[in-house]
Structure 1
Amino acid sequence: MSSLLRILRFTRDLSPLYTAIIICSVLTAAAGLAVPFLIGHATDTVAAAVGGETPTGTAVRTVVLIAAAVLAAELASTVISNVGGWFGDVMSNRMRTILSVRYYDKLLHLPQRWFDGEITGTIVARLNRSITEITNFVKMMSNSFASMLLTTAAVLVISAWYAWPLALLLLVVFPVYVWLTSLTSVKWQRLEGEKNQQVDIASGRFAEVVGQIRVVKSFVRERGELAEFSRRFGSTDATTREQSSHWHRMDVLRRAFLNLVFFGIYTIIFVRTVQGAFSLGEMVLLVQLMSMAKAPVESMSFVIDTAQRAIAGSRDYFRVMETEVDPRIAAVLAARDDEADGAAAAPAVDPVPGAPVVAFRDVSFAYEDGEDVLHGIDFTIDRGEKVALVGESGGGKSTIVNLLLGLYEPRSGSVEVVGRPSDELPLDQLRDRIGVVFQDASLFSGTIRENIAYGRPAASEEEVADAARRANADAFVRRFPDGYAQVIGERGLKLSGGQRQRIAVARAILKDAPVLVLDEATSALDTKSEIQVQKGLDELMTGRTSLIIAHRLSTIAEVDRIITLRDGRIDEIGSPAELAASGGIYAQLLALQSSGDSRRLASFDITG
């Protein structure tokens, strides 16, 4: 119950709708309760007429009026319950929106470490399942069960007025029935968690396969993927059988107890009527009231089943919502909230005059609790300088980029940007100063214009086109039927590798950040595409401080300095000419490239 109350607190903005639903539930219950009284009165009227106590004409007029009153009460119940149902539908949809938006907002601000341990499809599947289960329960409660509970409470009061043993038996039914149901909860929820885990993993893999369908087909893995998917879902069959068997065994006990109690209730009503304590009308009234009270109890199994699913879903939901965000991200969120409340935006942090644009000060770093992958990294990059990182795969080049972008925090040492420690810079300001072109262009499924303007959505059409021209992309864009409005498909699959990369370069040009990071931006391209993209990169690097990770050594021949890395440590720092003569990693790579020894060159594997 605490989990469900937490959902209500989490969505307190829906309070007006909650209030409207409660009012409709009360009115529906009142209209429904009027019917047994009217029918009981009609029964007494008919009995009096048959017994000769009331004239037939008078009785006929009375029962016709009663029938009209029953019609009015049932019509009122129908209309009001549907109005309440409308409020319930709107409320559940708004709740879905609130929960989904807040979940998405949370995901966007979780640290990179969290995503390293998650599967994209599983994150999506968990969102859909959790919120569906929560909103289904809330919708069911608001559309029907709330009014039934109010009706039951009223029945308790009325039955106590007529005969206290009836109220006593009804009071026994609910706690015992709920207690019997609760006996199943621990085991049921454990098994439900096991099923959810398998379904989430399978759904996550499903999303991965759809996103990588070309790889699946090219390696003829359709059967293998289908078999694994089937195995995951198939494993839930045994869990469901155990879960259902346990639930229905308990349901037999619950219903047997319910039947026994209502046997006692009906016996009391019938015997007291025979003894003259109740009139026929009162007997009919009480029997109908007991039936109204019985309905919520009988549906309790379904309600509790739905509630338990909602509780399990809410736990998965809040497990994500409770994940701690990076303190700097929390500061950004707080500033955003303050700005929304009318407070002034956080002031921009000015660069320190004369300080290096980028500086790593004795930085060491480890992923999670593993061994350090960077050891004592120490270098600076001055304004306008072009610096390249060269080293073997796993040497730490991409990790340095991740630290610069604030995706991770160093274990020791500090990363400085414009003379300020990066952990003192608001993350939005830090990342606004850095433009990145990755090896994977990482485009979205919208139009070319949307992708180029991703960092500056308000950019004009001319600014977008100018960025494309400078990235050597305008010509091929205009050959598309829709030009810049061309939809490029998921991850830009309708474009060639070179085209995707030039769009990524145009995106970085339009962002116009003073610091540029090129993370193997041409390593996956053929020679012709590389030449075209390199022209755009040369334009992009003009006047900017650049940090370059390169696959082909020819692309870094014109840099100011090269930093070589070996096993997470800096091996050498110097100009291309100095390192070419030093005999170190760069010199060895140059020699291998010149000799054409591709096998030995590949053994260096400098791409990671």
Structure 2
Amino acid sequence: MTTLLRILRFTRTLAPYYVGIMIAAAIVTAAGLAVPFITGRATDVVVDAVSSGIAGDPAAEAVAGTVGTVLLLALALLAVSLVEAGIGNVGGYWGDVMSAKMRTILSTRYFEQLLALPQRYYDDELTGTIVARLNRSISEVTNFMKSFSNLFVTLILTTVSVLAISAWYYWPLAVLLAIAYPVYFWLTALTSRRWQRLEGEKNAHVDVASGRFAEVVGQMRVVKSFVGERRELNAFADRFARTETLTESQSRHWHRMDALRQGVLHLIFFGLYAIIFVQTVTGRFTPGDMVMLVQLMAMARQPVTSLSWVVDTAQRAIAGSKSYFEVMDLDPAAVDGGGERPVEPRGDGVGAAGSAEADAAVGPGSAGAGAPPAIAFRGVRFGYGDADEVLAGVDFAVAPGERVAFVGESGGGKTTIMSLLMGLYGVRDGRIEIAGAGRGLEDLRRSIGVVFQEPALFSGTVAENIAYGRPGASRAEIEAVAARAAVDRFVDQLPDGYDTVVGERGIKLSGGQKQRIAVARAMLKDAPIFVLDEATSALDTKSERLVQAGLEDLMGGRTSLIIAHRLSTIAEVDRIVTLKDGRIDEIGPPAELAASGGIYAELLALQASSARADRKRLQDFDVVG
């Protein structure tokens, strides 16, 4: 009931549909209740005619009146049937519309919640599981609500009406019915407890299997390259085999209890029919009363048996909505784990410990020497969840318009710094200051353009992917940045040019083509700060020269932070920040660090060496020559 009430609160805007469906159901039920009375009356009229002998004499004067009466009763049955058909279909139409609107509301709110959840949530969830949860949960909930809104009034109205009519005619009938309903409901409740637990276990297996399924489909090249088809299929089949075992246990329990419920129900209705038949023989009921009461008992059976179906679908909806509401109940702040995000610089220039050293690093030779820092990390400490710290007291400052490259071994914290810069995580300690950070994360991220090492494209067209950061950009603006990023060199060869659909994650394009589109997307955003995870790492030499020329133009006058994977890129920046074990090892211009004997000097020496051990050591830095 709690889950049902939550769904109703979530979809309160659909109240007019709920009311309309229930009114239609009430009219249909009332029409259905009229049938036994009409049939019973017709039975009495016909029996009276037969018993009086007028039925055997077509010339008898009373025959005409009797025929007129039964024809009117037949017309009444027709009218009732037409009402049931007409109003029933109106209610069905409202139910279909309500179901579609409910799916829209629940799906939209789920997606809205997912968009609000921090990056930390997605670090621990499979994409396919999230999607499977949406499809399964909402389908089960909407199907149940659609059926329940139709059945609720029918069940209540039929139950109350049959009890009242039975009590009016003969109170023992009402007593037996009053026993049947709670006993059946109690047995159903006993059945559903274990059923729901097993259904939850089945859903968990299905969600994991569906999540892996989506992941495998998205990484099919990798699966085939490593001959993983059979392994993935076996793991997938194993999950569903477990659901089979659970279903066997679940179904065995359900049908065993259902046999008990049905046995109790049949016993009670045996008593009801026996009473009706005996009381008719003894003269308490007329034949018409008997026909009417028998039909009423059949109608009384419907709410009881429907209760089993309602509970079944309700348990599925509850089990499905459990995972839905688990996501909806997540507090983004609690999932995030807290921690300060980048903020506007303080006006007094005073920061955390080590800030003076960080600001002093913006010295002679920097593009913005002497100016207040555009970016400053002040004593920043960070770790993922409860894990050990990835960054331990990082201090540095970047001047406006300066280009800074970050170099270090894999896992040294380079990507983490970029994630913190964009506010994807909060710091454990310290402070990040960014000029133009604004009042919230949206303002912050609008001020930063990003090109990831692995280009992330959507399944739309080339033009849509380029304009993702500026959806309102004109075609001329899109084509202008495409030319600067050398996208125009290959787009003319595509079937529909800029309107070519690139497929999921850009599957129809080469790595270099996807990277050029990603660069063009960042160019069109035209943000004052750029984060480049080696934007040319996937390009061949010719494409790299073309894109690099566009990037040089783009970075002019903009603050740029570069995770460097090519020594040729590192040599072109204003300064290099080397990282070691989550701490800054050195900061300085390339020429200065080349002679310092530190990490950058080691990289240059490794590049010049032809020894296998040195080439392997170079790979530890994610750097190529």
Q: Same fold (TM over 0.5)?
A: yes
- Matched with 1:47 is 47
Compute the displacement of 1:598 (Å).
5.7
Give me the whole-angstrom Cα distance separating, in 1, the residues matched to 2:503 and 2:553: 27
The question of whether the paired residues in 2 share the 8 Å contact of 1:355 and 1:418 is answered with no
Amino acid at match of 2:171: W
Residues 1:562 and 2:569 aligned together: no
- Matched with 2:183 is 176
- Matched with 1:412 is 429
- Matched with 1:435 is 449
Compute the displacement of 1:198 (Å).
1.0
Q: Deviations over 1:544-573 (max 9, x none)?
A: 100100111111212111111011111111
Q: Deviations over 1:222-253 (max 9, x none)?
A: 11111111111111111110011011111011
Distance 1:373 1:472, change over 3 A: same
Distance 1:328 1:218, change over 3 A: closer
The question of whether the paired residues in 2 share the 8 Å contact of 1:433 and 1:515 is answered with yes
Amino acid at match of 1:292: M
Residues 1:147 and 2:164 aligned together: no
Amino acid at match of 2:425: Y
- SS in structure 1 of the partner of residue 561 of structure 2: strand
Compute the displacement of 1:543 (Å).
1.5
Match of 1:357 among 366, 374, 384: 374
Give me the whole-angstrom Cα distance separating, in 2, the residues matched to 1:257 and 1:359: 76
The question of whether the paired residues in 1 share the 8 Å contact of 2:404 and 2:560 is answered with yes
Alignment of 1:268-417 (within 5 A): 268-326=275-333, 355-417=372-434
Compute the displacement of 1:142 (Å).
3.3
- Matched with 2:219 is 212
Amino acid at match of 2:162: V
Residues 1:226 and 2:236 aligned together: no
Give me the whole-angstrom Cα distance separating, in 1, the residues matched to 2:478 and 2:106: 35
Q: Deviations over 1:179-235 (max 9, x none)?
A: 111112221111111111111111111111111111111112111111111111111
Alignment of 1:183-194 (within 5 A): 183-194=190-201
- SS in structure 2 of the partner of residue 571 of structure 1: strand
Compute the displacement of 1:275 (Å).
2.3
Distance 1:463 1:48, change over 3 A: same
- Matched with 1:87 is 94
Compute the displacement of 1:328 (Å).
12
- SS in structure 2 of the partner of residue 299 of structure 1: helix
TM-score, normalised via structure 1 length: 0.93
Compute the displacement of 1:349 (Å).
7.9
The question of whether the paired residues in 2 share the 8 Å contact of 1:505 and 1:540 is answered with no
Q: Deviations over 1:65-88 (max 9, x none)?
A: 101100110111011111101111
- SS in structure 1 of the partner of residue 332 of structure 2: coil
Could you list the runs of 5+ residues in structure 1 that have no partner in the other structure? 330-347
The question of whether the paired residues in 2 share the 8 Å contact of 1:561 and 1:575 is answered with yes
Give me the whole-angstrom Cα distance separating, in 1, the residues matched to 2:344 and 2:36: 73
Give me the whole-angstrom Cα distance separating, in 2, the residues matched to 1:351 and 1:475: 46
Amino acid at match of 1:371: D
Compute the displacement of 1:535 (Å).
2.2
- RMSD of aligned Cα (Å): 2.2
Distance 1:589 1:380, change over 3 A: same
Residues 1:264 and 2:271 aligned together: yes
Residues 1:202 and 2:226 aligned together: no
- Matched with 1:589 is 603
Match of 2:476 among 462, 477, 492: 462
Match of 2:530 among 500, 516, 540: 516
Match of 2:63 among 40, 56, 59: 56
- SS in structure 2 of the partner of residue 302 of structure 1: helix
Q: Deviations over 1:324-354 (max 9, x none)?
A: 114899xxxxxxxxxxxxxxxxxx9899696
- For structure 1, which segment, 311-320 or 535-544, has the greater mean C-alpha deviation from structure 2 after superposition? 535-544
Give me the whole-angstrom Cα distance separating, in 2, the residues matched to 1:40 and 1:5: 41
Match of 1:133 among 136, 140, 149: 140
Amino acid at match of 2:380: V
- SS in structure 2 of the partner of residue 454 of structure 1: helix
The question of whether the paired residues in 2 share the 8 Å contact of 1:471 and 1:540 is answered with no
Amino acid at match of 2:414: K
Distance 1:534 1:602, change over 3 A: farther
- Matched with 1:344 is none
- Matched with 2:123 is 116
The question of whether the paired residues in 2 share the 8 Å contact of 1:81 and 1:143 is answered with no
Instruction: Report how many aligned residue pairs link the two structures.
Output: 589
- For structure 1, which segment, 295-304 or 312-321, has the greater mean C-alpha deviation from structure 2 after superposition? 295-304
- Matched with 1:549 is 563
- Matched with 2:104 is 97
Q: Percent identity?
A: 62
- Matched with 2:554 is 540
- SS in structure 2 of the partner of residue 360 of structure 1: strand
Match of 2:440 among 400, 422, 426: 426
Compute the displacement of 1:287 (Å).
1.0
Q: Deviations over 1:432-465 (max 9, x none)?
A: 0000000011011111100000011110111111
- Matched with 1:34 is 34
Compute the displacement of 1:599 (Å).
4.2
Amino acid at match of 1:514: P
The question of whether the paired residues in 2 share the 8 Å contact of 1:88 and 1:139 is answered with yes
Amino acid at match of 1:570: I
Compute the displacement of 1:533 (Å).
2.7
Compute the displacement of 1:428 (Å).
0.6
Q: Deviations over 1:522-546 (max 9, x none)?
A: 3333333333332232222121100
Distance 1:419 1:22, change over 3 A: closer
Distance 1:525 1:602, change over 3 A: farther
- Matched with 1:338 is none
- Matched with 1:607 is 622
Compute the displacement of 1:145 (Å).
5.7
Distance 1:105 1:488, change over 3 A: same
- For structure 1, which segment, 433-442 or 145-154, has the greater mean C-alpha deviation from structure 2 after superposition? 145-154
Match of 2:518 among 497, 504, 520: 504
- Matched with 2:365 is none
The question of whether the paired residues in 2 share the 8 Å contact of 1:362 and 1:414 is answered with yes
Please say which structure displays the higher CA radius of gyration: 2
The question of whether the paired residues in 2 share the 8 Å contact of 1:129 and 1:313 is answered with yes
- SS in structure 1 of the partner of residue 622 of structure 2: coil
The question of whether the paired residues in 2 share the 8 Å contact of 1:519 and 1:549 is answered with yes
Give me the whole-angstrom Cα distance separating, in 2, the residues matched to 1:464 and 1:350: 34
Give me the whole-angstrom Cα distance separating, in 1, the residues matched to 2:372 and 2:195: 62
Residues 1:488 and 2:505 aligned together: no
- Matched with 1:21 is 21
Compute the displacement of 1:263 (Å).
1.3
Q: Deviations over 1:465-504 (max 9, x none)?
A: 1111121222322332322111111111222211111111
Distance 1:104 1:598, change over 3 A: farther
Compute the displacement of 1:586 (Å).
0.7
Give me the whole-angstrom Cα distance separating, in 2, the residues matched to 1:283 and 1:570: 94
Give me the whole-angstrom Cα distance separating, in 2, the residues matched to 1:366 and 1:148: 57
- SS in structure 1 of the partner of residue 315 of structure 2: helix
Amino acid at match of 1:160: A
Distance 1:316 1:497, change over 3 A: same
Amino acid at match of 2:296: L
